[in-house]
Amino acid sequence: MRTRFQPAVMAALVGAALVVSGCDAGSAQPSVGSSPGATVAHVVAPSGGSPSESGAADGERAAAPALLSLSPAAGSQEVRPDRPVTVDVVGGRLSRVRLTARDGKQLQGTLDAGGSWKLTEALAPGTTYTLAADGIGEDGTVVKASSTFSTVRANRLVSTTLIPGDDWTVGVGMPVVVVFSQPVKNKEAAEAALTVDSTPSVEGAWRWFSSTEVHWRPRVYWPAGTKVKVTAAMSKVELADGVWGKRTTTSTFSVGRSQIMTVDTAKHTMTVKRGDEVVKTMPVTTGKSGFRTRNGIKVVMSRESQVRMDASTLGTDKNDPDYYNLLVNWALRLTYSGEYLHAAPWSVGSQGRANVSHGCTGMSTANARWLYDNSLVGDVVVFTGSPRALEWGNGYTEWNMSFDRYAAA
């Protein structure tokens, strides 16, 4: 925006600190106005002239020198990182603007249609910056101004982790997961700094699963082949009192082919559907009485070629007949509590006929290896026929809720 300057405030500016240079710096005069909290610089004429020597005929408006207004003003302390940084000009145009951090890093900005400059990056907490601007007046005068200011120090800085990570290829059920290193109280501000851009464009919504974790899911499963970029622009967000985001984090990933697996716990079968085609059906065993596999829509969270499963981590005593400590192969994780699809060569005789596991879905080694090789993190696995419900938040559970309810939180 352009700042309007009024002669009535001239007296208030006589004592203002100005940083000025130009063709005749020694003839600098106080400006005739400024925006609040701004440093202003004004040079009266090119070398060899004065305001009365403009050469303009009587009755004609004399060409004027430029007047620059910088905000924050020189010497400002405790500037919030989310405060705008601007340079306005009256009576000319900006020729150069530089915002430089104490470590020499230069931040980027842009000119608007009115010729004013605005910072487009984020300030960092606890940092000193120098804002320097050059302008050219209508009379050709070059005017320079600068402002050095410091930002507020953060009590803590919060980092963010984005899942999926860069260059991942994921299944059509994969949510976007943002994990914060510290609890977030200002959730609306954090959410406003999160964006999901995709080609093709996909409708979706955010929902908080805890004070440190928020997920974004599409209205329906991702279209196969979608390209996605996630941006967490937290570097100018106060996430809690005195707690600021550390930096802007991005992730770019792709959605692969559509693959939906369906496990019928009553019929002891798994069907793998690729697009509209069933590509494989295999016998399985799921959780026995007292250890029922959870019903619902699950998403592959990780692929692990080998994983140790120790019942003691779930509170089972080593002397309990149901205690186990096994190293299993070709495992696809589905829940935080430890449900997997994996090779179970010890139960081949029961696969397709009975449920004998402690909650995981077991299959032959050959079938497990095939599934491992042909699955992606983010693939959907639908479980039916079990009396036990999947708990909300035990894994990527967003598909067990209608989109309208999900988006309303």
Catalytic residue numbers read: 342, 360
Beta-carbon-side half-sphere exposure of residue 243 (alpha carbons within 13 Å): 15
Q: Nearest to residue 273, comparing CAs of 178, 197, 199, 382?
A: 382
> Whole-angstrom Cα distance, residue 134 to residue 94?
6
Q: Which residues 6+ apart lie within 8 Å of 61 measured at CB? A: none
Q: Which residues 6+ apart lie within 8 Å of 15 measured at CB? A: none
Query: According to DSSP H, which parts of 274-391 are helical?
Result: 365-373
> Whole-angstrom Cα distance, residue 101 to residue 105?
5
Q: What sign does the CA torsion over 328, 294, 270, 398 have?
A: negative
> Whole-angstrom Cα distance, residue 40 to residue 67?
7
> Whole-angstrom Cα distance, residue 278 to residue 257?
14
Tokens found for residue 265: 């716990």
Tokens found for residue 385: 């026929």
> Whole-angstrom Cα distance, residue 245 to residue 235?
5
Tokens found for residue 214: 């928020």
> Whole-angstrom Cα distance, residue 371 to residue 343?
10
Burial degree of 329 (CB within 10 A; 0-12, 13-18, 19+): middle
> Whole-angstrom Cα distance, residue 234 to residue 121?
11
Burial degree of 83 (CB within 10 A; 0-12, 13-18, 19+): middle
